Chain A
Amino acid sequence: DAMVIQNPRYQVTQFGKPVTLSCSQTLNHNVMYWYQQKSSQAPKLLFHYYDKDFNNEADTPDNFQSRRPNTSFCFLDIRSPGLGDAAMYLCATSRDYRPQHFGDGTRLSIL
């Protein structure tokens, strides 16, 4: 089945140690999004790629970066994770105005 796959499902890192989360998709969608969802809060858009064009939300911290080497893969890099970055990170894809398809998320813990 075509889907959005996030790896790993759970990630533990140390305070200040760079971490990378990955997302892949077999839907051939041209848009990929990263959302951050803290406990009991609404998911919040961090940034998205429209094809190769990167679009950052105005309030996304500089600590968060993203790479999209090809249509199928997108990475979220956190350069120096702080305790406040512990959250569920959700990847989503879409084509035009069709519904966004979400992966199962990566839960990030900071020690």
Chain B
Amino acid sequence: KQEVTQIPAALSVPEGENLVLNCSFTDSAIYNLQWFRQDPGKGLTSLLLIQSSQREQTSGRLNASLDKSSGRSTLYIAASQPGDSATYLCAVSHDLPYSGGGADGLTFGKGTHLIIQP
């Protein structure tokens, strides 16, 4: 059974710092990995998706890397801002038996609660 772990569980840093959030998974047979942001009381916003054949993806100040063989991903946030304060969730999907694909649910970590101090 796939297990996803995120470290640290919580992080508080001053504005402007570069930071790294870590995600690890026990079963390397993943199809893709997604990073999400969740604001308090809200749903999930997809930040980056990395296919299993890729090593990294970038969007603005965010960069996510994937080392499938070692079961690790990192989310790098450059020049952090108070608006980045949220919970960041990592999730993996898996190869499927379906010919159509795309129907597998995601296995999530518990998230990293991030606070950026002004």
Contact = CB atoms under 8 A, between A and B. Distances in A.
Interface of A: 4, 6, 30-31, 33, 35, 40-45, 48, 50, 55, 57, 88, 90, 92, 94-105, 107
Nearest to A57: B105
B103 to A, nearest CB: 4
Interface size class of B (residues with CB under 8 A): 20 to 34
Contacts of A41: 110
B103 A50 contact: yes
Nearest to A9: B41
A103 B45 CA distance: 9
Contacts of B106: 43, 45, 100
Nearest to A106: B43
Contact of B101 (A45, A92, A96, A99): A96
Contacts of A100: 34, 46, 106
